[in-house]
Amino acid sequence: MSVSGLFAIGTSALQAAYAQIQTTGHNIANVDTPGYTRQRVELATASPLYTGSGFVGRGVDVVTVARLYDRFLAGQVQTGTATAAADAARASLTSQLESLLGRQSASLGVAMDDFRFALADLVDRPADASARAVVLGRAQVLAERFRTSSAGIESIAGEVEARLADGVTRLNGLLAGIAAANEAIARSNGSAQPPNDLLDRRDALVAEAGALMQMTVRENPDRTISLFGAGGHGLVVGAAVARLALDRDPLDPQRAQFVLQTSGNAIPVSSALIGGGEIAGLLRFRDTDLVSARDGLGRLAGAVAGAYNAAHAQGVDSTGTPGADLFAIGAPRATAAEGNGGSAAFSVEVADASALLASDHVLGWDGAAWTITRLSDGRQTAVSSWPVDLDGLRIDATGGAPVAGDRFLLRSASVMAAGFASTITSVQGLATGLAVTPVAGVGNGGDVRAGSFAVLASNPDLGAAVTITFDGAGSYSVSGVGTGNPTGLPYLPGTTVSYNGWSLTLAGSPAAGDTIAIVPVDEPSMDNRNARTLLGLGDQRLVEGRSFTDAWAAILADVGQRSQAAQGAADLSRSMLADARASLGAVSGVNLDEEAARLLQFQQSYQAAAKVIAAAQSVFDTLLGIAN
pLDDT value, residue 628: 62
The string of DSSP codes covering 549-579 is HHHHHHHHHHHHHHHHHHHHHHHHHHHHHHH
As a whole number of angstroms, the distance between CA 175 and CA 279 comes to 15
Q: Three-state SS for 314?
A: coil
pLDDT value, residue 3: 63
Give the pLDDT means over successive 10-residue stretches in the chain (628 positions). Answer: 74 90 93 91 86 80 90 91 95 95 80 96 95 96 95 95 93 94 85 86 93 91 88 83 87 85 76 84 94 96 96 92 94 94 95 94 95 95 95 95 95 96 95 94 92 87 93 92 94 94 93 94 92 94 92 94 96 95 91 92 90 82 74
pLDDT value, residue 626: 79
Q: Three-state SS for 363?
A: strand
DSSP letter, residue 433: B
pLDDT value, residue 520: 93
Q: Three-state SS for 454?
A: strand
Return the domain boundaries, the chain.
3-68+589-627, 74-290+546-580, 331-413, 436-520
The string of DSSP codes covering 188-219 is GGGGSS--HHHHHHHHHHHHHHHHHS-EEEEE
3-state secondary structure 253-307: CCCEEEEEEECCEEEECCHHHHCCCHHHHHHHHHHHHHHHHHHHHHHHHHHHHHH
Contact (Cβ atoms closer than 8 angstroms) between residue 493 and residue 508: yes
pLDDT value, residue 229: 86
pLDDT value, residue 472: 84
Strands ordered across the beta sheet of 265-268: 243-248, 256-262, 265-268
pLDDT value, residue 25: 93
> For residue 128, which of 386, 388, 455, 432 has the smallest C-alpha distance?
432
